[in-house]
């Protein structure tokens, strides 16, 4: 049987604004990505998920699009984009576009028209409502970026819906014309030869605002089946939906091949484990390790052949994993490699976020003036108003703020990490002098080389792509141990998820001589008396 290419590849996410600047304006650009394609080819990835590069006023760094068929001025031109697709292709790399169609920018012509008058032909492209009977917002829907999701518009005396910033009005997917516009713009990009789409907050497009239903609305899957039929169904591309509320049951609805919707979704169950129950991402609690093992393992086993997993620790919205659940100080290197080994030997398509392969870290701030991200800035002011202390808010920002992931890519030890010759739009993490790609490439023991080796292992060993997964629940909680089985072979992956040494006895796994990959100098593993160094991880073939 011919299997889909995206099941055996590794995807690398580029956040263009912070990747590589070539014209000295302090903002990354498309020519910068082209310049770095050889680096990505060396790593071994098969696709780039490109965060938005479309025309945008950058209220939310490109997730507010004013023209889907044009390129953001700071990033370059459509000719640069065509060149990127071509140059990536010659290196066996596909370009997966970020499809942001839950909302547009308020500068999109559709919205400019829509807000002109109540009878404008574009009025119903967006979601307009009268004030509530007693006055005020139509209902209690909240924006992810703080405050009400409704914004009053003087000129026509109605409110429009924005689940994100007030400069990101939500499109009205109930309007068939809107859906047709989306199919058209997707086909525009498919005809250019892109490798697929990452679909921003796709679980929101079936919303029923009047019932305050946002995620997983009743028509969501019907829309996605229409989309499949009208657009990418005719192409050999990958599609991945961003779905914050997905359970394995929901994920199967999206990704069961028989249903003809998406290739896979990003699920966030593990990502939300360090926030307090019923609160939001800023309300921190320690990571419950047992839950992490249980949840990642649940996702490994429950999709069966009715879906496909995406595997990730990081993206442009999340803090750096070494700073979050590992050690970004003395044990940075072993902990970064541990996260890599643990995740990349699971079943699913792994995603690497730029700089993760270098073990890049969070970049703390001391004052809100240093923040760039709209989510962070809005939350700061909202919480100050609610009586939180500045110190507590800044602590939450340093733990969870999105700028942590967005500091410039660290290429070498020259000023600004080689990202720009100008002033970077967001300050480079000062640790670029030691944490950078040039240093990693020249060190055979670097985190980069562990990632490279993991990608090569996936390509060479069908067990990594296809093998069954089983969690081994023995030993101390800090031990994350699982096995993969395929056509008579068995691999075991053991990871110490903590900064202290542990020992375990798992006699039924026996002794193994064949180390496949390790982050310490280990030549054998005797599971009858297993000793693991802080953040040690390795894989062995069991015989």
Binder to ligand TEU among 63, 159, 282, 299 (CB under 6 A)? 63
Q: Which two tokens stand for residue 268?
A: 């966030």
Nearer Cβ to ligand TEU, position 144 or 361?
A: 144
Nearer Cβ to ligand TEU, position 242 or 356?
A: 242
Residues tagged active-site: 200, 242
Alpha helix (H) residue ranges in 256-369: 289-302, 321-324, 332-344
Scan residues 25-54 and list those touching ligand TEU (CB under 6 A): none
Verify binding: residue 106, ligand TEU, rule CB under 6 A: no
Distance between CA atoms of 64 and 204, rounded to whole angstroms? 16
Least separation in angstroms between residue 63's CB and ligand TEU is 3
Least separation in angstroms between residue 199's CB and ligand TEU is 10
The residue count for binding ligand TEU (CB under 6 A) is 15
Nearer Cβ to ligand TEU, position 202 or 539?
A: 202
Least separation in angstroms between residue 51's CB and ligand TEU is 8
Least separation in angstroms between residue 167's CB and ligand TEU is 11
Least separation in angstroms between residue 103's CB and ligand TEU is 7
Least separation in angstroms between residue 189's CB and ligand TEU is 18
Contact 315, 351 (CB under 8 A): yes
Binder to ligand TEU among 200, 203, 269, 403 (CB under 6 A)? 200
Beta strands at 537-542 and 489-496: parallel, antiparallel or unpaired: antiparallel
Q: 3-state SS of 165-204? A: CCCCCEECCCCHHHHHHHHHHHHHHHHCCCCEEEECCHHH
Q: 3-state SS of 80-96? A: HHHHHHHHHHHCCCEEE
Binder to ligand TEU among 47, 201, 262, 506 (CB under 6 A)? 201
Contact 104, 113 (CB under 8 A): no
Nearer Cβ to ligand TEU, position 51 or 300?
A: 51
Beta strands at 502-504 and 238-242: parallel, antiparallel or unpaired: unpaired
DSSP state of 222: H
Verify binding: residue 281, ligand TEU, rule CB under 6 A: yes
Scan residues 293-332 and list those touching ligand TEU (CB under 6 A): 316-318
Burial of residue 321 (CB within 10 Å: 0-12, 13-18, 19+) is buried
Verify binding: residue 60, ligand TEU, rule CB under 6 A: yes
Distance between CA atoms of 54 and 65, rounded to whole angstroms? 6
Nearer Cβ to ligand TEU, position 270 or 281?
A: 281
Q: Tell me how far the alpha carbon of residue 174 is from its chain's centroid.
A: 27
Residue 225-264 contact track with ligand TEU, rule CB under 6 A, x = bound: -----------------x-x--------------------
Scan residues 116-155 and list those touching ligand TEU (CB under 6 A): 144
Contact 329, 337 (CB under 8 A): no
Scan residues 370-409 and list those touching ligand TEU (CB under 6 A): 375, 402
Least separation in angstroms between residue 477's CB and ligand TEU is 27
Q: Which residues 6+ apart lie within 8 Å of 381 measured at CB? A: 146
Contact 237, 196 (CB under 8 A): yes
Residues found near ligand TEU in the complex (CB under 6 A): 60, 63, 100, 144, 164, 200-201, 242, 244, 281, 316-318, 375, 402
């Amino acid at each position: 049987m011919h299997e889909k290419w995206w099941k055996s590849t590794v995807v690398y996410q580029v956040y263009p604004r912070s990747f590589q600047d070539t014209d000295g304006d302090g903002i990354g650009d498309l020519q910068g990505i082209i310049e770095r394609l050889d680096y990505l080819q060396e790593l071994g990835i098969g696709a780039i998920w490109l965060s938005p590069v479309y025309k945008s006023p950058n209220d939310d760094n490109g997730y507010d699009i004013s023209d889907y068929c044009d390129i953001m001025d700071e990033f370059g031109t459509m000719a640069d984009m065509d060149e990127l697709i071509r140059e990536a292709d010659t290196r066996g790399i596909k370009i997966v576009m970020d499809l942001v169609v839950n909302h547009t920018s308020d500068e999109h012509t559709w919205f400019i028209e829509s807000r002109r008058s109540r009878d404008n032909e574009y009025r119903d492209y967006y979601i307009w409502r009268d004030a509530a009977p007693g006055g005020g917002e139509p209902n209690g829907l909240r924006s992810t970026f703080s405050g009400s999701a409704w914004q009053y518009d003087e000129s026509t005396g109605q409110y429009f819906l924005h689940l994100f910033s007030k400069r990101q009005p939500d499109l009205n997917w109930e309007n068939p014309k809107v859906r047709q516009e989306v199919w058209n713009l997707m086909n525009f990009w498919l005809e250019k030869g892109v490798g697929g789409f990452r679909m921003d907050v796709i679980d929101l497009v079936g919303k029923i605002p009047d019932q305050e239903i946002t995620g997983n609305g009743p028509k969501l899957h019907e829309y996605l089946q229409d989309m499949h039929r009208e657009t990418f169904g005719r192409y050999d591309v990958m599609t991945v939906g961003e779905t914050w509320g997905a359970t394995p049951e929901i994920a199967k609805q999206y990704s069961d091949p028989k249903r003809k919707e998406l290739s896979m979704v990003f699920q966030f169950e593990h990502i939300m484990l360090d926030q307090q129950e019923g609160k939001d991402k800023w309300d921190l609690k320690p990571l419950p390790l047992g839950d992490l093992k249980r949840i990642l393992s649940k996702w490994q086993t429950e999709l069966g052949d009715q879906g496909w997993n995406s595997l990730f620790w990081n993206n442009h919205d999340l803090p750096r994993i070494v700073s979050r659940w590992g050690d970004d100080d003395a044990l940075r290197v072993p902990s970064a490699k541990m996260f890599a080994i643990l995740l990349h030997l699971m079943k699913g398509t792994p995603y690497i976020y730029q700089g993760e392969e270098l073990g890049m870290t969070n970049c703390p701030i001391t004052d809100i003036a240093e923040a760039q991200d709209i989510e962070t800035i809005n939350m700061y002011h909202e919480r100050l108003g609610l009586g939180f202390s500045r110190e507590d808010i800044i602590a939450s920002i340093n733990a969870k703020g999105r700028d942590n992931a967005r500091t410039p890519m660290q290429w070498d030890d020259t000023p600004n990490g080689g990202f720009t010759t100008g002033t970077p739009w967001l300050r480079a993490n000062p640790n670029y002098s030691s944490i950078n790609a040039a240093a990693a490439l020249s060190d055979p023991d670097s985190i980069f080389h562990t990632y490279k080796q993991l990608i090569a292992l996936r390509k060479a060993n069908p067990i990594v792509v296809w093998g069954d997964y089983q969690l081994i629940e023995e030993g101390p909680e800090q031990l994350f141990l699982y096995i993969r089985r395929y056509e008579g072979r068995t691999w075991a992956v053991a990871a110490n998820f903590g900064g202290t040494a542990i020992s375990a006895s798992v006699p039924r796994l026996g002794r193994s001589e064949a180390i496949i990959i390790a982050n310490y100098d280990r030549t054998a593993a005797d599971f009858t008396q297993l000793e693991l160094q802080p953040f040690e991880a390795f894989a062995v073939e069991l015989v």
